[in-house]
Structure 1
Amino acid sequence: MLRRGGTIGILGGGQLGRMMAMSAVQLGYRCIGYAPEGDNVAAGVCEDFFTNRWDDTAALAAFAAKCDVVTWEFENVPVTTAQAIPADRIFPHPRALETAQDRLNEKRFAEGLGGKPAAYAKVDAASDLVGAVDRLGAPGILKTRRDGYDGKGQWRIGSGRDADALRLPDDPLIYEGFVEFDAEFSVILVRGQDGEIRFWDSPRNMHEDGILAASLLPAGKAVEGQVQEARRLAGEVADALKYVGVLTCEFFATHEGPIFNEMAPRVHNSGHWTIEGAATSQFENHIRAVAGLPLGDTATTAAGVEMRNILGEEIEGAHAFLADADTHLHDYGKREVRDGRKMGHFTRLTRA
């Protein structure tokens, strides 16, 4: 168990690290961040912050020497960076990054545990894409196997003609067949160092242009009838990885049951509602887990919860949301405002 006043290192400087650090400070810990140069909004909450390249071995060693434990706030931290931290001081283990950073490996991993992903095919050349469309049909989605998020690195393929005309990027790719679904939802869990797992209620997620727009509770019958099966898979993923911290698995609710979409080995946008809407937030429970503390209650504490992202210039008028006494605003403090960028979120509670 990490002593009071101990230091938690966070790899990454975005809003997830910022909210994680806020929870750590509340529990009596110090935080130090590490990320390359950029709009590192977590730095305002951390006691110290290293602004260095991911491959700067000397800086990483100096950072690690100052930390009692280390975690990360987004899944694109290079595996080699995470592996530079002593294995007994980084949570989750870097094997979670290795699994999640490649969409092909991720889907095969889920299948090995009994999960059912969308039909998929590996694409390394234009001929592979044409063959994948022939086998799996269209429409479908072509994705980079690595690094894509919030709709980036994705191309909708409406027909074989689209596949023929597309100039492929020079990256490993995967083609996914179209899934007819009733709803999208996420399973968010926390696993402690002793193997205990607790789940939050699963929200229904609404996306616009590939970006999460809202997470809603109650999630509705289409989701609620499939949560238990999805939780089984998510729990097996966490156990197989010997995971410590918050883990998110995203699913489609379909007439065939839950279809696995992807996993995020970190706190997640669709779990932001837990700050005001649950007994213990995802951020606090992540810190509890990596520090070796008992896990907190994950029960939902409101009759209804609505979390919405604030994108781009919407942040300029965000204080207007506070006219509703049951609405809570989170401004991430980002300097650069651009279309589609997550600048903050608000959570609106419905009282019982």
Structure 2
Amino acid sequence: MLKSPLSLGATIGILGDGQLGRMLSQAASRLGFKVVIFGPDKESPAAQVSLASKVAAYTDEAVLARLAESCDVITFEFENVPASSLDYLTGKGAVVAPSSKALRITQDRVLEKSFARDHGIGTVDFYPVDSLDDLYAALRQSGLPALLKTRREGYDGKGQVWIRSLDEAPAAYDSLNGRPSILEAKASFTREISVVAARGWDGQVKTFPIGENHHVGGILSTTLAPANVSPAVSAEAHDIAKAVLEGLDYVGVLAVELFVLDGDALLLNEIAPRVHNSGHWTQDGCWCDQFEQHIRAVAGWPLGDTSARCTIEMTNLLGADILAWPDLSAEPASRLYVYGKDDPRPGRKMGHINRIKSV
């Protein structure tokens, strides 16, 4: 628990060294904080813009101990940091936000969906799968097609496979290498939306306007926000985000991805315990963006104004898309963000561009 708001010049530690850590570090620096990055990559996007970096495995207790000593609060930028590392930091007296509880629940898709249902939030039907026999039994209940995913890790369409007939079950199971999995019934949704929200140490909650997301090949392609949704959908989405934040006793920013069904019913797809790709639009569309909001929350500062200033379409720049930077940077009413990665391999997130659609 943070006893008082961090003063100017305090040090924030960030576990994770990718583009989200980079943008968190930039936001923290603008607010007058020092940032130490902890991650395995010596030439990381986050380390490029930070005061210092510690290069080590997330389980390296000697380096974790030094991080605990040098930082006033410690946070993380992605959900695959081991929850045990957060427990170790807490045991060393560090202030950590969000907590290991939030990480432990959201790292496991079965625990995550069970948490949602326990808090009155609808999800698709789901079934734990630990063997091929489990998979056959689950398929008989879920119906076809159904989506088989690893319970842990996996992102941007990785670690998942659609099953359209029982004959495909063995190959699908083998493709995940026997890892503990979850079978999810198909959701007949009309569109996917997300809500990014924050909670402070004092329990204050603020939500950003809804974004509508479009995926290509399992990877987010564009987010349009504020989305054109009904007041009822907006209110329910914000209520769901608030229930998640409070149920996890969460401090910081998270994103909740939701399916919109016919009739505007909502089902939770996923909880991301961090700043999120679908919230990048807030950098130019809101008075306080998601990165500053996360820093404000973990630092014990008042949460910022989440009102929308304009309508933004955020487009991810994947792989060779970034090579068009001369044209992208010349576009009017747009803003280009480059992550500092060297290898523009296919599907890799190299940057994004926010385009103002209307004011």
- TM-score bin (small chain): over 0.9
Partner of 1:76: 80
Find 1:134's aligned residue among 140, 144, 152: 140
- Counting only pairs closer than 5 Å after superposition, residues 48-63 of structure 1 correspond to structure 2 as 48-63=52-67
Aligned 8 A contact 2:123 2:269 in 1: yes
SS of the residue 2:214 aligns to: strand
Deviation readout 1:20-56 (Å, 9 max, x if unpaired): 0000000000000001136521001111100001111
Aligned 8 A contact 1:14 1:39 in 2: no
Deviation readout 1:138-159 (Å, 9 max, x if unpaired): 1111000001111110001111
Aligned 8 A contact 1:39 1:335 in 2: no
Provide the C-alpha distance between the structure 2 equivalents of 1:217 and 1:6, rounded to a whole number of angstroms: 33
Give yes or no for the alignment of 1:174 onto 2:182: yes
Deviation readout 1:68-108 (Å, 9 max, x if unpaired): 10000000000011112126611111111011000000000
Amino acid at match of 1:135: Q
Amino acid at match of 2:24: M
Partner of 2:168: 162
Partner of 1:246: 253
SS of the residue 1:20 aligns to: helix
TM-score by length of 1: 0.97
Give yes or no for the alignment of 1:346 onto 2:339: no
Q: Which runs of 5+ in 1 are unaligned?
A: none
Partner of 2:268: 260
Give yes or no for the alignment of 1:282 onto 2:286: no
Provide the C-alpha distance between the structure 2 equivalents of 1:277 and 1:21, rounded to a whole number of angstroms: 20
Provide the C-alpha distance between the structure 2 equivalents of 1:18 and 1:54, rounded to a whole number of angstroms: 17
- Counting only pairs closer than 5 Å after superposition, residues 56-135 of structure 1 correspond to structure 2 as 56-86=60-90, 89-135=95-141
Question: Which stretch of the first structure deviates more once superposed, 141-150 or 248-257?
Answer: 248-257
**Deviation at residue 247 of structure 1 after TM alignment:** 1.2
Amino acid at match of 1:94: S
**Deviation at residue 218 of structure 1 after TM alignment:** 3.7
**Deviation at residue 224 of structure 1 after TM alignment:** 5.4
Root mean square deviation of aligned Cα: 1.3
4+ aligned runs moved over 2 Å, structure 1: 164-168
Provide the C-alpha distance between the structure 1 equivalents of 2:23 and 2:231, rounded to a whole number of angstroms: 28
TM-score by length of 2: 0.95
Provide the C-alpha distance between the structure 1 equivalents of 2:191 and 2:343, rounded to a whole number of angstroms: 33
Provide the C-alpha distance between the structure 2 equivalents of 1:224 and 1:78, rounded to a whole number of angstroms: 38
Deviation readout 1:113-149 (Å, 9 max, x if unpaired): 0011111111111111111111111111100000111
**Deviation at residue 285 of structure 1 after TM alignment:** 0.7
Q: Which runs of 5+ in 2 are unaligned?
A: none
- How many residue pairs get aligned? The number is 350
